[in-house]
Amino acid sequence: MSGNKNNAATAASGPAKNSREAVHQLVEQYARLDETNVATAESMRAAFLRAIKDEPALLREELISDFLAQTIEPEDLARLEWESPLHMMEVGESLYHSRFKDSEIARLLNRHASVLLHKALYHYEKEGEMEKMFRLLRLAPSYLLRQDAELGRLHYRANSYEIRRVRRSRRFLFGYLLIQVILVLVLFPYLFINAENGRLQHEVEQLADVELGDDGYQLISFSEGVYWAVITASSIGYGDVTPTTTIGRMIAGTLGTMGVITVGILAGLVLDWITPRRIL
């Protein structure tokens, strides 16, 4: 009995405890352990879990995954300290890839995966990190969500968060479009008219004490300015109204760049922003 205790302590604290050989040795020693040594058994299970936590790939070995399924209790996983929820899910993902002999082993491994998923989700819920909780639930196997009522509650909370996120995104999008309309229909036509009619350029020359040298000023009406701004912002550019001054060309370049960026952003993000994502 004392020999088993000494061997367990050696396996739990040896310098190579995270190696495959150390884990195999610990599994073999646990099989020979007297059932009355409850404290020693608990210490050995904790040492096993620490090794798995540091090297999740070990779970792909059938001997190790069988030991985890048949010997480790959910309480053992709950007591284990984790660096982060992502670390928990890294171990949980290794459980999904574990080898098992029959459906009972698979059921036990799924139970452990569910414990890890619960623990990670509870951490995000406590910290109010709903976006991380939503992303984690999207990655979780759908069969775990269907089998557990508590995971169903967290699933509902994450979907509620997603609906609120979409509503905020829609309001932001409408606000952005409103500002863009004001810029195109009011501000940029006004700047363009003043630049092409010479007023804005004269003011810049006076403030900067420079001579820009443009003398081909043209008289642009406000309606023509609005027409030019819409055509430029939409990247059509017929060329019937064009800037002839340095300031006017700078304004045209700025508006054209903004228009291209706006069209590109809207084309790529509008569906992602206003369409709710779903957790399967």
- Mean pLDDT for the stretch of residues 220-236: 89
Gap between the Cα atoms of 204 and 247, Å rounded: 9
Query: d(Cα 132, Cα 125) in Å, to the nearest integer?
Result: 9
What's residue 185's pLDDT?
A: 92
What SS3 class is residue 17?
coil
pLDDT category, 255, cuts 50, 70, 90? very high
Domain count, the chain: 2
**Looking at residue 3, what is its pLDDT?**
45
The closest of 144, 47, 45, 42 to 89, measured between CA atoms, is 144
Do both 14 and 153 map to the same domain?
A: yes
CA-closest candidate to residue 30, choices 73, 67, 79, 74 = 67
The answer on 157 and 181 residing in a single domain is no
* 38 lies in the same domain as 116: yes
What residues make up the domain containing 90? Answer: 2-163
Q: Judge whether 159 and 133 are in contact, CB under 8 Å.
A: no
Residue 178 lies in a domain: yes
Residue 129 structure tokens:
């990190």
**Domain termination site, one of 121, 136, 163:** 163
Of 158, 170, 122, 193, the closest CA to residue 279 belongs to 158
Summarize pLDDT for 112-140 with one digit per residue, the tens: 888 888 888 888 888 888 988 888 888 77
- Whether the pLDDT of residue 165 is over 70: the answer is yes
Question: In this structure, are 76 and 91 located in the same domain?
Answer: yes
Could you tell me if 52 and 68 are in contact, meaning their C-beta atoms sit under 8 angstroms apart?
yes
Query: Is the residue at 90 inside a domain?
Result: yes
Long-range contacts formed by 124-132: CB under 8 A, 24+ apart: 124/85, 125/154, 125/157, 130/157, 130/158, 130/161, 131/161, 131/165, 132/85
Interior angle at CA 60, CA 68 and CA 121, nearest 5: 65
Name the one residue in this structure whose structure tokens are 């001997």: 63
Q: What percent of the chain has pLDDT over 70?
A: 83
Pick 157 or 94 by higher pLDDT.
157
Are 87 and 120 in contact, with CB atoms under 8 Å apart? no
Q: Which residues contact 178 (CB under 8 A, 6 or more apart)?
A: none
Under DSSP, the state recorded for 240 is S
Tokens of 17: 């405890």
Whether the pLDDT of residue 189 is over 90: the answer is yes
Q: Which residue has the tokens 């001054």?
A: 245
* 1-59 tens-digit pLDDT: 444 444 444 444 444 444 688 888 888 888 888 777 888 888 888 888 888 888 887 88
Q: Are residues 12 and 88 in the same domain?
A: yes
CB atoms within 10 A of CB 13: 10
**In the prediction, which pLDDT does 12 show?**
44
The answer to whether position 280 is within a domain reads no
173 and 81 share one domain: no
Assign 204 a pLDDT band (cuts: 50, 70, 90). Answer: low
Q: Are residues 50 and 61 in the same domain?
A: yes
Residue 279 inside a domain? The answer is no
pLDDT at 215 over 70: no
